[in-house]
């Protein structure tokens, strides 16, 4: 008998804490990314950081303020 585990790469939530962006995926994995890696996000106000939406069922994130899109690829 074999068991297959399929992990989803779709994000379900994003939050910001301690100069990091926290992304939570459908399968429970969490990813913390330093805002230092993204100058626009690092210098953004709280309002600007929270002005985002998921695209493609959680495959990417779009910030309306800057027309910026990040694709989320986690393996």
Is pLDDT above 70 for 75?
A: no
pLDDT in tens, 11-51: 999 999 989 999 999 989 999 999 999 888 899 999 999 99
Predicted TM-score (pTM) of this structure: 0.76
Domain limits for position 55: 11-71
Within-domain flag for 5: no
Q: Is residue 2 part of a domain?
A: no
In a domain, 42, yes or no: yes
Q: What confidence tier does 56 reach under pLDDT thresholds 50, 70, 90?
A: confident
- CATH at 47: 3.30.2020.40
Provide the CA 55 distance to its chain's centre, in angstroms.
Answer: 11
pLDDT at 24: 93
Contacts of 75 (CB under 8 A, 6+ apart): 9
| β-bridge partners, 62 | 53, 69
Measured CA to CA in angstroms, residue 67 lies from 32, 41, 48, 59, 73 at distances of 22, 12, 12, 16, 20
Q: DSSP letter at 42?
A: H
How many structural domains compose the chain? 1
Encoded tokens for 35: 């805002």
23 inside domain: yes
């Amino acid at each position: 008998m074999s068991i297959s585990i399929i992990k989803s790469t779709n994000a379900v939530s994003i939050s910001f804490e301690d100069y990091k962006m926290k992304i939570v995926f459908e399968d429970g994995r969490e990813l913390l990314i330093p805002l230092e890696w993204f100058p626009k996000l690092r210098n953004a106000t709280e309002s600007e950081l929270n002005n985002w939406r998921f695209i493609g069922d959680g495959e990417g994130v779009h910030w309306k303020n800057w027309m910026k899109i990040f694709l989320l690829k986690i393996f």
